[in-house]
Amino acid sequence: MSSTAVEAAAAETATKSAGLERGIDWTGAFWVASGVPPLVLFSIGGVAATVGKLSWVIWIASIAMGFVQSFTYAEIAGLFPDKAGGTSIYGAIAWVRYGKLVAPISVWCNWFAWSPVQATGSALAAGYILMGLFAPDSVVNTWQITLLDLGALKTGLSLRINATFILGAVILLAVKFIQDGGILRSASSRSSRATSSRRISSR
């Protein structure tokens, strides 16, 4: 291939990378968004038990907030088409001009806040699976190893290992490996395209 053709292809790549690029189809978008409905389903019972008949008001308000957040997120993502990492990275970019120490702390705080959600979701999923496969009084659902008695804080509270803990950890690790295989590859691909674009523009 001649140098002219190579430069033309490089220029076309740089032009494409300057804007948003659809890198996944509807099936990829479906699996990326599939983690949201379980979080909603986990909270439906708790909201209904706490609020009662006015639960529908809370749900409508939550839907409206999510709708506004979606457009806000899309707007911010459009400002940084070459950045991968979501809201944590966008927040770090906003903070870096005020202090280089605050930016990484912002990223860490974002993911630290999500950690209880991941743990709770995995534990609930493990509980549903075990209750569906085994009887409530079966050995699988009743055995446990108590590591620390926390009865001083609340009666019956203890730090323990049981089947729900083990299966929840397996689910959590499985989700991580799936993300490592898909999302991180996509982020690496975007990063390489952005690097190529910067090299071309600097010539």
Q: What is the pLDDT along the chain (203 residues), one digit of tens a residue?
A: 445 544 544 445 545 555 556 666 777 777 777 767 766 776 777 778 888 888 888 888 988 988 888 888 888 878 777 776 677 788 788 788 887 888 888 888 888 887 887 888 888 888 888 988 988 888 888 888 888 888 888 787 788 889 999 999 998 888 878 777 666 666 666 666 656 656 665 66
pTM of the model: 0.54
SS (HEC) of the chain: CCHHHHHHHHHHHHHHHCCCCCCCCHHHHHHHHCCHHHHHHHHHHHHHHHHHHHHHHHHHHHHHHHHHHHHHHHHHHHHCCCCCCCHHHHHHHHHHCCCCCHHHHHHHHHHHHHHHHHHHHHHHHHHHHHHHHCCCCCHHHHCEEEEEECCCCCCCCEEEEEHHHHHHHHHHHHHHHHHHHHHHHHHHHHHHHHHHHHHHHCC
